[in-house]
Amino acid sequence: MYTQTNADSRQNLGPGAEPYQWQEKYTSSGPRKWLILGSVIGLLALIGIGVGVGVAVSHHSKSSSNISTNNPSASPANPTVVSQTNPNDPSTFVKDARLKQSFWGMAYTPEGSLLPNCGSTLPDVIQDIQLISQLTTRLRLYGSDCNQSALVLEAIKQTKVNMTVWLGNYALPNDGGVAYARQRDAIVQAIKTYGTDQIGGITVGNEFMLNYLTAAGATTPNGPVGNQGAQLLIANITDTVNTLKSLNLPKHIPVGNSDAGAYFNNLVLGAVEYGMANVHPWFGNVSIANAATWTYDFFETTDVQAAQALTNKPTMYIAETGWPSNSSDAGNMSNGPSTASLANLQLFLDSYVCQANQNGTGYFYFEAFDEVWKDQMYGGVEGHWGLFNTDKSFKNITIPTC
């Protein structure tokens, strides 16, 4: 019921990061909200989840041991899920008739993108891209640690698929800018190696305002505490804009940010070309029957309208939306009227995907693969949002044809 963080945020908690106590807070007066104060166990950081008035937030990624390899002849963990007519040419992968390019975009973090362990492998990222490219032409990453930007761009190159990537910089407010600078430099290196053709944008900050406000015990993104946090994030956004300018790139790369749907600060939105909002009906306590419409309404009234009211009118996307297919314990199966099940995942796909495309919503579906580490760490529905199981086998669902 909470969402957590994930590797995404944990992975960027540098050694100087401040540990917090885990804390879960439910406020029933006023806007309902689940908050999880981030904590960190060791170097793991935490994440917050705001759910409620309509916000739910969540994001996730994967972790694994530090057996990083870029050896192209190595095998992915489960070699059976994709076959290639030429074993040495990843672009010759055989299409799976059950997969359709129906999704506007997909949220993705390669397994093993969590510091300090890292461990993602090029063969596995190539296989992920072979699968995801059959579902969408757009991908967003959350951060740039553990070489993930280069691995994904290399995988796109080798598979020769049509894929645009929004790279991510999971900047932290409390580390003196160490995580920010490390990822900025990794992004610059990836741009120098792979060019700009495949890059749709650079997202600076993920749930930065949610985490900042939560750590300060505040809830209002446009209040004084929110405006303080905004100045920190804007410094990093401005630095990325200036860094890109200094590279004299052949193509303009937009710089944006991503946050919980109810946690956008207007000063931050005024400094970006796009915003990505997490909008989760399951965490928002919405029944599957109302999920698609609720997602649309929440995003339009909270995020799109706020952006349109500003002079720079940043483009707004949904950073994450989806539905869990199961819970690891019966007690967390339902969040009020929202119930995790394979049947409800199918209903969400049937009621949301093509309709949102038609409505012109730019959304990154959450998510491609179930994540075992998240299940182990958090239980409940956390490890069960994928279209594929953790071994990358396809769940018993039907992708809608749009």
Ligand X SMILES: *[C@@H]1O[C@H](CO)[C@@H](O)[C@H](O)[C@H]1NC(C)=O
Q: What CA dihedral angle connects 215, 219, 221 and 224, to 10 degrees?
A: -80
User: Considering only residues 50-89, where is the footprint of ligand X by CB under 6 A?
Assistant: 66, 68, 70
Cβ(4)–Cβ(10) under 8 Å? no
Instruction: Tell me whether residue 315 or residue 326 sits nearer to ligand X (CB atom).
Output: 326
Binding ligand X by CB under 6 A: which of 6, 147, 206, 257? 147
Among 16, 79, 87, 116, binds ligand X (CB under 6 A): 116
Annotate each residue in 22-51 with x if it binds ligand X (CB under 6 A) or - if it does not, as one string. Answer: ----------x-x-----------------
Cβ 285 vs Cβ 49: under 8 Å: no
Candidate residues 78, 91, 102, 137; the one interacting with ligand X per rule CB under 6 A? 137
Ranges assigned E (strand) in 265-400: 274-278, 315-321, 334-335, 338-339, 363-365
117: contact with ligand X by CB under 6 A:
yes
C-alpha dist (Å) from residue 244 to 62, 167, 168, 241, 252 = 29, 13, 14, 5, 9
- The residues near 215 (Cβ < 8 Å, ≥ 6 apart) are 20, 37, 38, 173, 174
In angstroms, give the least distance from the CB of 325 to ligand X.
7
Residues 247-286 that bind ligand X (CB under 6 A): 285
User: How far is it, in rounded angstroms, from Cα 2 to Cα 35?
Assistant: 7
By the rule CB under 6 A, 177 interacts with ligand X: yes
Contact region with ligand X (CB under 6 A), list: 11-19, 127-135, 176-184, 245-253: 176-184
Asked if 316 and 90 touch (Cβ cutoff 8 Å), the reply is no
Which residue type is seen at 343?
A
- 282 closest CA partner among 204, 228, 334, 212: 334
196 binds ligand X (CB under 6 A): no
**Contact stretch for ligand X (CB under 6 A) within 35-43, 218-226, 234-242, 254-262:** 234-242
Pick one of 290, 293, 315, 339: the residue that binds ligand X (CB under 6 A): 293
* CA neighbor of 25 nearest in space, from 215, 212, 206: 215
List Cα–Cα distances, 208 to 10, 120, 191, 228, 260, in angstroms.
13, 25, 24, 12, 9
Residues 55 and 128: their CA atoms lie apart, in Å, by 29
Instruction: Give min distance, CB of 149 to ligand X, in A.
Output: 9
Closer to ligand X by Cβ: residue 311 or 345: 345
By beta-carbon proximity to ligand X, the closer residue of 176 and 223 is 176
* The one among 95, 242, 336, 376 contacting ligand X by CB under 6 A: 336
Cα(352)–Cα(357) distance, rounded to whole angstroms?
8
Should residue 236 be labelled a site residue for ligand X when binding is judged by CB under 6 A?
yes
Q: Measured from the CB atom, is 301 or 396 closer to ligand X? A: 396
Least Cβ distance, residue 221 to ligand X (angstroms) = 16
DSSP secondary structure string for all residues of 178-219: HHHHHHHHHHHHHHHHH-STTEEEEEEEESHHHHHHHHTT--
Mention every residue, 6+ apart, whose C-beta is less than 8 A from residue 77.
Answer: 124, 391
Of the listed pieces 56-64, 177-185, 257-265, 273-281, which binds ligand X according to CB under 6 A?
Answer: 177-185
Find the binder of ligand X among 232, 288, 304, 349 (CB under 6 A): 232
| Range 345-364, binding ligand X (CB under 6 A) | 352, 355-356, 359, 361
What is the number of alpha carbons within 13 Å of residue 198 lying toward its C-beta?
Answer: 28
Given 7, 106, 118, 167, the residue binding ligand X (CB under 6 A): 118
Size of the site for ligand X (CB under 6 A): 50
Q: Which is nearer to ligand X, 154 or 371 (CB)?
A: 154
Q: Determine, following the binding rule CB under 6 A, whether residue 102 of this chain makes contact with ligand X.
A: no
Token pair of 124, please?
């596995």
Tell whether residue 393 is a contact of ligand X (CB under 6 A): no
The Cα 140–Cα 157 span in angstroms is: 17
- Alpha-helical (H) ranges within 90-195 are 122-132, 148-159, 178-194
Shortest reach from residue 47's CB to ligand X, in Å: 14
Structure tokens at 197: 């053709």
* CB nearer ligand X, residue 21 or residue 311: 21
Binding residues (CB under 6 A) for ligand X: these are: 32, 34, 66, 68, 70, 116-118, 122, 137-138, 146-147, 150-151, 154, 162, 164, 171, 173, 176-177, 180-181, 232, 235-236, 239, 285, 292-293, 296, 326, 328-329, 331-332, 335-337, 342, 352, 355-356, 359, 361, 378-380, 396
